[in-house]
Amino acid sequence: MQLLAIGECMIEMSGGQDGYWRMGFAGDTLNTLWYARAGLDPADGPVGYFTALGTDGFSDRIVAFLDGAGIATDAIRRIPDRRPGLYMIEQRDGDRAFTYWRDTSAARALADDEAALRTAMRNARMIYLSGITLAILPAEGRVRLLDALRTARQGRARIAFDPNIRPALWSDEAVMRDAITSAAAISDIALPSFDDEARWFGDADPAACARRYAAAGAGEVAVKDGAGPVTLLSEGGTTVMPVPPAAEVVDATGAGDSFNGGYLAARLNGVAPVEAARAGTAMAARVIAAHGAIIDLPETRIWHRDASKGGPR
């Protein structure tokens, strides 16, 4: 498997105008996997998603959606009496507002079965997770997940991690910082966002953020800074890459996730970090020019097994 993403796929309800809502499926790690496919070739192996879902009809729809998009679902855990998480996006005062229902989602149990977790990671060239993946798990689940990642890394897998800091998902800020640092310690690639990192870790600038992740153990760091430059730290040293102005900004949802997808696909293809960052910024520019976290891209259609089962939203 070229790339395995681990996290939570949620039901997304967007719109709300005149009382009508549009249903889709999204989640930060799924969004990144979705866009990574645009730079990957199915002939080089599958991509997959690992999570936990229920046995209800909406969980079935999520699996069909992923299957239709050419994303392997065979490792997904199905848990009776659990359901997918849900969130709604609406416009308030000219900006997007999110409301979540995920406290008892099936994905919170994705690391409960250690054997299933390790089986899912077997033979993956790269494994991607986020701080949200860590945040939704109970403490013992985080330990199991990190242990399984260490084992996978000792094999052939490279670990990629976006801290994606969401304090509302954590019961304790110190636990949050410790978990993120522990994940960075076993990551080959870290993809932090500077504004979040500065607030919760006190980094003075993106270069300081990159150095902190490298000191924690990450071998390669790409610090995103909104429309600002991407700061890269790798074996080649530190590079600050300006981001070309976006031609159009329609919806910033998924900007960071899509950058990650473009970046990781390029790295899997053997592209150097500087060129991978260019691929990431180009991907993000395309995504923010359209509505939604997941958009249709012509390059991903080669992955679709059966568009009638569930293609792009």
What are the φ/ψ torsions at residue 110 (nearest 5 degrees)? -65, -25
Count CB neighbours of 29 within 10 A: 25
Identify the active-site residue in 28, 162, 225, 257. 257
Residue type, 256: G
Concerning whether 203 is annotated as a catalytic residue, the answer is no
Dig out the tokens for 186 from the structure: 């076993």
CB of 264 closer than 8 Å to CB of 189:
yes
Domain 3-301 class in CATH: alpha beta
pLDDT per residue of the chain (313 residues) written in tens, 0 to 9: 999 999 999 998 887 777 788 899 999 999 999 999 999 999 999 999 999 999 999 999 999 999 999 999 999 999 999 999 998 887 676 566 788 899 899 999 999 999 999 999 999 999 999 999 999 999 999 999 999 999 999 988 999 999 999 999 999 999 999 999 999 999 999 999 999 999 999 999 999 999 999 999 999 999 999 888 999 999 878 888 888 776 677 666 778 899 999 999 999 999 999 999 999 999 998 887 777 778 889 999 899 885 444 443 3
Dig out the tokens for 218 from the structure: 């990450």
83 strand-pairing partners:
105
Place of tokens 């997770």: 129
**Domain limits of the chain?**
3-301
